[in-house]
Structure 1
Amino acid sequence: MAKIQKINVKSIDEIREEMIETVTSSKSDIFQISEQCRKDYDNMTNELRTIREMMVKLIAEEERLEEQVLKARLKLSELSMNFKDYTEVEVREAYEKAHQLQMDLSINWQYKKQLLDKRADLERRLLGLDETIDRADQLISQISVVMNYLMSDLKLMGEELQNAKAKQDFGLKIIEAQEEERKRLSRDIHDGPAQMLANVIMRSDLVDRVYREQGPEEAFKEIGSFKKMVRAALYEVRRIIYDLRPMALDDLGLVPTLRKYLQTIEEYHNKSKIEFTNIGLERRLPVKYEVALFRLIQESVQNALKHANACGIHVRLEMTKNELTVLIKDNGAGFDTTQKKPESFGIIGMRERVELLEGNIAFESKIGKGTSVFIVVPIPA
């Protein structure tokens, strides 16, 4: 009987390995498709930009030609009325010039129509590529969840979780949170530094061309713009690193790090006003408390900016000898606290963080009236 059980376990492991191999291969294929789509998207975007620049020139040329054609027609009208006053050569040249201008205008129209058709086609294809890239990113994220679940050893969790259902839910929740964070980081890097550096490369080629065609003065202007783009890219990289783990948290503690973080976020979201008030004691806490409280406030502020579109946020922190109280209040869209939504996982995660600190958290919100988050955590002696 024991032998049969061993064979079954081995068969399950073999099936599991085959599934992992298949899923890994599929993930790689989807990633390649996604990368190719991104390259095609960037190339088409550049082509579309070129077409738009050409359209501007064509429209200007069209206006010039139409003006010239009108003058030529007026000239022909004058010739026909005073035919005897002009030589045969002058008449022929006037007709040939009018004909040539009309031909040039017709060619301009045809070329403009071709560019308009091509622009419309590129815009349709870009829309399709954008949808494909989003779908590929979603699939990669979902496949990563499956992969991590297949490869994770959930036996260690079995001692702490009483049944298989709870064990499965807990494991998937952790994996989903990890994948969501990776996806957010990937999106931040792609939309921020990666895009900026791509523009830097394009502008570096432009500097060389401007120097050759327009001289050093114009080239220096482009270099100035070039430097601004590099500084902006560096700022984005530092912001992302700061969001991952503020180094000042280890060196300075919770309050100075919060003050700096909120100031940085306010500068980045220049349309939002963020106020920070610290009352009472200002002292260092155990590392796990400082990290957890920083993440809770960070999550609340990001939710207010990203989901509630708040333009005003107030963070109030009060520390006494025995407990720490935090209030994060915004004037955003608010939400119905009685309605459970799929995206409430963020709130669940915040509750779990506070429970680990043996504290309490409460949410007050009304649609159109903003949201208030109250956190109370006991401070260890």
Structure 2
Amino acid sequence: MHKYFIYIFLFISLGCFSQGTQEADSLLNVIKTSNKLEDKARAHGKLALLNLLSDIQFAKKHLDSSFALYTNINNEKGIASSHLKLAVYYRLEGEYEKGLNHIKYSIDYAEKTKDTFNIANSLFQKAVLYSLKSDYNESLEVFYKILAIYEAMDNQGKVGLTLNSIGITYNDLQMYPEAINAYKKAVSIHEKMQDSVNLPNAYSNLALAYANQKQYDLALNFYRKARQIDINTNNEWGLGINSENIGVVLNEQEKYTDAIIYFNEAKRIFDANNFKTDLTRVYTNLGQVNFRLKNYIKSEFYLKEALKSKTNSKLVTKEIHNNLFELYKATNRYELALDHYEKFNVFKDSIFEEERIKNINELDKKYQTEKKDKEIATQQLEIQNKEAEIEKKQTLNIIAIGSAIFLLIAAILIVFIFKQRQKRIKEEVVSLKRQHQIKTLEALIEGEENERFRIARELHDGVNGDLSAIKYKLSSLLEMNNKIINEAITMIDDSCKQVRAISHDLVPPSLESFSLVEATEAYCSNLNEAYNNIDVNFQHLGEDINLSKKNEINIFRIIQELVSNSLKHAQAKAINVQISHRNNQIQITVEDDGVGFNANEVSAKGIGLGNVKSRVDYLNATLDLISNQSGTSYTIDIDTKQIDGN
């Protein structure tokens, strides 16, 4: 399970910021046009912050530019700020010693200028870096210093954040009661403040502590609380993380179908926002849960996608190779299984060696503890002296901060009102376009269904009636015992059967009389009787489906078209059709073990996905297609609350 670790400390140090393209464009314009080096340096720094989570290498280029410009004009404050941001960058890259080297400069400048707020922020990054290095005692020591500073300032928001971070450190030490105690204190503070930004962080980390003790119901309760706040505040990253965490807990409870729904939501969010590290992890989770459901085609696809991302985490890479080894072993592809087993062992040995070195370093640190204790005592005396000076300047700082906050709130309100107005206009345009598209699709689909009814009626009432009359007249000549007449009557009987079959295929009687699930089951059963060399299997999972007849017909036509494509083109031995329904989410899956096709050439002869895509659009649904030499898999996800006229 993933924790909010990076999220909390990134924003504590640097403040909340928008990832909007408008701000990025504005900053790029400053870099290109401004004649002031200080303005250029500041713009480079802000642009780096905007991209730290989405494109870290792009962010590094702008951090270097900002640092170089501040150094060129000898701006000490800017240089110290750049060191702080570089510490965050190296923390995200896993180069913790480099991060500690940079944070030292930031701390020195904050102490030199007696800037209490930046002293605490810089110490925060130092504590996080120690924690990531597994130097937990040093980390806790620094966190408690920060807690004392914020309590002296009576800054309850920062006190809550610090307690949350202390809880994370105890959790890493597997001291779960201590972790839960710290988290609950943080939750209490953020709930009183109605802090919708930091409260979900505390909920999520509290859930992780319970999950680590296998108290899954408590864990799910707090993850869902955090997720609901993320939904209310449009926090895409937090929503993705908490959806993934819920999926992990459900997977541990062997509720695999429910887990997939949450993993898919996390995948959609991470993919849309280009959160590459998170996307690697959720691909791995999707590979695992599909393997447990024996959906081997999907499992292989997601695990390969995870491997393509080339994550810096050896633990994640080791897990991916292990999962691929298990998959290929289960599907009797032993050469591939052996290859991934060997790679798994390489990463396993590498991680073991790193742990061995870390243990040696821990022993050395314990040897140096006594010396450090003396240094800490000296530092505490210095802090006490500085706190006396801090108290004298608090009044002036509060006035300055209050004025700045007032101006900032006024500016934010103006921008917010303007953006809301633009948003309403765009929504109205999109709504009108959507209504027009729905009416057009509805007319096309209704016309197609009417034509099907007309052709079926003509075949049944016209051609079938004529064939029956001819059969009757020929039967009257049977007394002549004419062999040719007997053969003609047999041929007419076969023609009548074919006409009835075509008529029923165009307008299945079961679809008019029964539900979507019953009609689909009857359709698959009829195909099994008609095709001796292909197994057509049907499975229904979850709750009953209650839709309008029009929407049921559209879903049935989609299934009919996809199964027909497999029968005609796939050369398959088995076709699996599955309908699942949980929590207003319908998922349709049609899979075959045929030869597959090039998914980029969907308009190729015999594929015929145009009609399917039109119906999917009409239902406000999404279509996911995976096809390779092992077979083809279609997945349609439908939100029943989004279906017009349901």
TM-score normalized by structure 1?
Answer: 0.43
Question: Which has the larger strand fraction?
Answer: 1
